């Protein structure tokens, strides 16, 4: 692959990585022990009395579940991005993980974190 294109894709990946980490940072805490793992913070109720407390608690559970699924998706993307960056550094970037064929540049320009070619995915 052309070095110039590779550099452009690398920049793209790094930008995406920063923006995903920024998103995650809004509601999750990076797990220092497990590199690349994030934990969603449990939202804290802002107090209240009687049934309001229970209602708030229910809202929190719902909000927490939503955030967990967002976190999960962002984390998966982040993992793919990190993997792609690693491959760019160590070699093997742009190869389909399933069939071993080159992934089309046009595809990588749109999804630089792609791990498989269009046929295999
Ligand atoms: Zn393939």
pLDDT digit string, tens, across residues 67-100? 999 999 999 999 999 999 999 999 999 999 999 9
Residue 100 φ/ψ, nearest 5 degrees: 80, 0
2-47 pLDDT, tens digit per residue, is 899 999 999 999 999 999 999 999 999 888 776 668 888 877 655 5
- Residue 96 alpha carbon to ligand 1 centre in Å: 5
- Residue 84 alpha carbon to ligand 1 centre in Å: 16
- Residue 95 alpha carbon to ligand 1 centre in Å: 8
- Residue 97 alpha carbon to ligand 1 centre in Å: 7
Other residues' Cβ atoms within 10 Å of the Cβ of residue 104:
14
Please tell me what DSSP assigns to residue 95. Answer: B
- Residue 112 alpha carbon to ligand 1 centre in Å: 15
């Amino acid at each position: 692959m052309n070095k110039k294109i590779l550099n452009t894709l690398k920049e793209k990946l790094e930008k995406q990585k920063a923006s995903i980490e920024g998103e995650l940072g809004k509601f999750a805490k990076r797990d220092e022990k497990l590199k690349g793992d994030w934990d969603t913070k449990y939202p804290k109720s802002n107090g209240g009395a009687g049934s309001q407390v229970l209602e708030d608690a229910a809202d929190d559970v719902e909000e927490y579940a939503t955030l967990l699924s967002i976190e999960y998706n962002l984390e998966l993307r982040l993992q793919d991005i990190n993997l792609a960056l690693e491959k760019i550094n160590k070699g093997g970037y742009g190869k389909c993980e399933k069939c071993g064929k080159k992934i089309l540049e046009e595809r990588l320009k749109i999804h630089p974190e792609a791990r498989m070619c269009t046929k295999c995915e």
